[in-house]
Structure 1
C-alpha cells in the first residue's frame, strides 16, 4: 500500500492542529507554518491543485 506525501503531510498537520494552543512554542508555530507551506507546494503541483486554482479563479472573476 502506498500513500502520497501530500496525504501524509495533511494528516500530520491535522493531528498537530488538534493540540492545545496554550502549549505551543514559537518554534512549534514556525514548524506548523513550514509544514503548511510545503503542503501547499505539493498540492499546487498536482492536477487536484490546478483544479483548485481554476475554481478560485472562477470565484474571484465572479465577484469582481
Structure 2
C-alpha cells in the first residue's frame, strides 16, 4: 500500500508552481499558490519540523533585533 504524506505533496506542488514564469501567472493562479502555501504552513506548524523552523526563525529575528540596537 502506498501512502503519501500531505505535507510533502504540498511542498512539491509549491515548488512546481513557483518555478513557472512570473509574467505568465494570472491573479487566480497567484491566489491559489498563496492558499496552498498557507495550507502547507498549517500542516507543518504542529509537527516537530514546524516547531524547529519556528524556533530557528525566532532566534534569527531575536539576533537581528539585538544587533540593531
Q: Is the pair's TM-score, using the shorter chain for normalization, greater than 0.5?
A: yes
Bigger Rg over Cα: 2
Aligned match of 2:28: 27
Between the two proteins, the alignment pairs up a number of residues equal to 64
Aligned match of 2:10: 9
Q: CA RMSD in A?
A: 1.2
Gapped regions of structure 2 (runs ≥ 5): none
TM-score by length of 1: 0.86
| 1:28 counterpart SS class | helix
TM-score by length of 2: 0.80
Aligned match of 2:60: 59
